């Protein structure tokens, strides 16, 4: 470790984003201890569904089973693509739960730099104009008063130097907690749940990046994309911290 790194480690102690263990300073602002690094499953190491970004086992296929079934059934995929740096597992879950409760904000920088690397990889040809975040459920805001997706979006916007537009989307009806529902219920729970407010003219013919914390079926980002494209957006991409295995 250099003298500069030692000084930074003493003055500004850093913690692993996943276990909170102290780690040495580095200039990338990405803090993952060796033990957690071995527990994480990085999406970029596997072939992924071209729509939802979920790692798939067979490199001969470009779609996961769920996206393929959705297209066969006539369901509309409004977003252009979703990316995520991590597969959702126990190591990721604990960190995101702390983040949702506003208990460990030190992990945000690491999450955002991991997302940044995926944006550079997966959206290299996309000319992103704005970043927005998924609006939280009112019930959850009453319980925690903390919007983790907004914090991630705001931090990421500074890193990749793209304007974040807060409060441009709203939930226009009550929805249930997605993680408590099955695949079919997740879609129906969010059908028509989002709308763009006060920003319609900003999004016309623009390319928008939607930020959320976790994606399973992609239903949340899909409904946000529907509302954004209805407001005139040309393309809508999604980025999350982690993708869950669907089936």
Q: Say if CB 66 and CB 187 are below 8 A apart.
A: no
Give percent of the chain with pLDDT exceeding 70. Answer: 82
Model pLDDT for residues 104-150, shown as the tens digit of each residue: 888 999 999 999 999 999 999 999 999 999 988 665 555 556 788 99
Q: Collapsing DSSP states into helix, strand and coil, what is residue 131? A: strand
Distance set, CA 71 to CA 20, 68, 121, 130, 206 (Å): 41, 5, 25, 28, 25
pTM: 0.86
Kind and range of the H or E run holding 183: helix 183-190
**Domains of the chain listed by start with CATH number:** 1-39 (no CATH), 41-243 (3.40.50.2020)
- Residues 144-161: what's their mean pLDDT? 89
Q: Compute the distance between CA of residue 183 and CA of residue 41 in angstroms, rounded to an integer.
A: 23
- In this prediction, residue 61 carries a pLDDT of 85
Model pLDDT for residues 59-79, shown as the tens digit of each residue: 788 898 888 888 888 888 999
Q: Compute the distance between CA of residue 103 and CA of residue 115 in angstroms, rounded to an integer.
A: 21
What's the token pair of residue 46?
């596997």
Band (pLDDT 50/70/90 cuts) for residue 215 is very high
């Amino acid at each position: 470790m250099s003298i500069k790194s030692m000084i930074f480690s003493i003055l500004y102690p850093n913690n692993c984003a996943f276990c909170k263990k102290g780690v040495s300073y580095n200039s990338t602002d990405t803090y993952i201890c060796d033990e957690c690094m071995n527990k994480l499953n990085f999406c970029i190491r596997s072939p992924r569904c071209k729509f939802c970004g979920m790692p798939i086992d067979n490199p001969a296929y470009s779609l996961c089973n769920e996206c393929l079934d959705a297209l066969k059934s006539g369901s509309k995929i409004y977003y252009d693509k979703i990316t995520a740096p991590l597969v959702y597992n126990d190591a990721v879950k604990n960190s995101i739960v702390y983040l949702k409760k506003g208990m460990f904000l030190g992990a945000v920088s690491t999450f955002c730099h991991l997302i940044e690397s995926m944006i550079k990889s997966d959206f290299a040809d996309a000319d992103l104009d704005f970043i927005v975040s998924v609006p939280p459920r009112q019930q959850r805001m009453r319980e925690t008063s903390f919007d983790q997706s907004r914090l991630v979006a705001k931090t990421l916007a500074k890193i990749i130097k793209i304007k974040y537009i807060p409060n441009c989307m709203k939930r226009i009806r009550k929805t249930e907690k997605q993680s408590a529902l099955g695949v079919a219920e997740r879609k129906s729970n969010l059908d028509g749940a989002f709308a763009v407010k006060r920003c319609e003219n900003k999004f016309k013919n623009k390319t928008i990046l939607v930020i959320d914390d976790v994606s399973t079926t992609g239903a949340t980002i899909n409904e946000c994309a529907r509302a954004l494209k209805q407001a005139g957006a040309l393309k809508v991409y999604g980025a999350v911290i982690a993708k869950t295995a669907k089936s």
